[in-house]
Structure 1
């Protein structure tokens, strides 16, 4: 008695190769197998982009995100900025900083930590000037230069912000005008040094810890009422008036900013 093979090959498939799946069939026709989504290249960052971010020709589909191509080409066509000098390397809020370097184009911004320099002036291609913003905490911070194309260069711990000397609220001739937009994202303070000279400062609301009201007796007689914005490590004069009571105004400001109102230790009950 003859024994049949244990695993006979069906007659319909004898002499033919096993059927191929879609991927294998595509490869057999000379087409590359499709990549899995996990192996795709991640989209490059414009800020970190170089002219060949994927190691391939951009026009040949080297990058997975074709929508990034115009931005990448813009970043590649603009030379990277550089920093040569930072003068001075320390100072209180209001200090003028001059940054020199290369490829500092119009629209470039300079930040100390998270805050941009106030009254920024760009003199392409090698100079940027601005003031240390009011309300910035004392301490050593990074200086960061960012171009409109998103390119950036930084110096770690490049500037030391020192504590500001507080003005005599009612003892100087300077005037202050304060603007709080409806969004309350930032408080803008115009400080009139003279009738023709004004300095504008901007303090992000997130950096304000409290509104402080202070009312003190003046050496020559009378009183001085002052409203301060307390930030980390310093406070900025918001408004002041001699022989006046600004307590209600201070409360309204605190409510508008969503900050607590505090009374200075020197304030008379």
Structure 2
């Protein structure tokens, strides 16, 4: 059982950087950072959004594995075109940020807390991430998790499902927290960087969305039997980077990634504590001068 959980945990980590959805991770980070006005908001948003994205991702995989597998033949040729549309939507969102505008929030959530909006939007983003990743990452998920569920071992299957989700969440949370803390340092050290961050996020979003759309077209060409797709220079270059990242995660395993997450959480807590101490000192100094 322990070996199976470790395997599911590792598969979840690698699922976050699968070849099909590889560019969705920087797109997610761009959306996350662009919507966080300050560090405390960025860190809280990172944790909440990582949970929401992971939930959306694994629920789509679970639904596909348990209920939609019989429709796989109908869905498979249509998935690349969904990926193309998703990539183009991300490009438009990135262009919107580059123009100096903020991404709109749904009207019915206009008065809701920021983290509520983040949760809802990131669950949907996680679902889109999963659909874009189905072609590359569904096979290990089916082999590890769904096989146990369908074999009648519900408890084992649920445990493996949870381990897969935890592995996915570890990678996403580490990436999100790291970006949130880097954003804090950038805004703190560079005057006016706060205004630049959304535009920088827009650049990343345009690049990531462009690649997602290109990869969808690449998959569509492969499905159509076009041999020129096999030597696509854009996909080959990105795949080399994706394989290097996946190999690094596979070699490290869950323990070091968990340690990095704990270190980032500690750094965020210390940073917040230092800011509070500085504010109290400034407030006392002002009172003494008064």
- The answer, yes or no, to whether TM exceeds 0.5 is no
TM norm structure 2: 0.18
Which structure has the greater CA radius of gyration? 1
In terms of fraction of residues, the more strand-rich structure is 1
TM-score by length of 1: 0.19
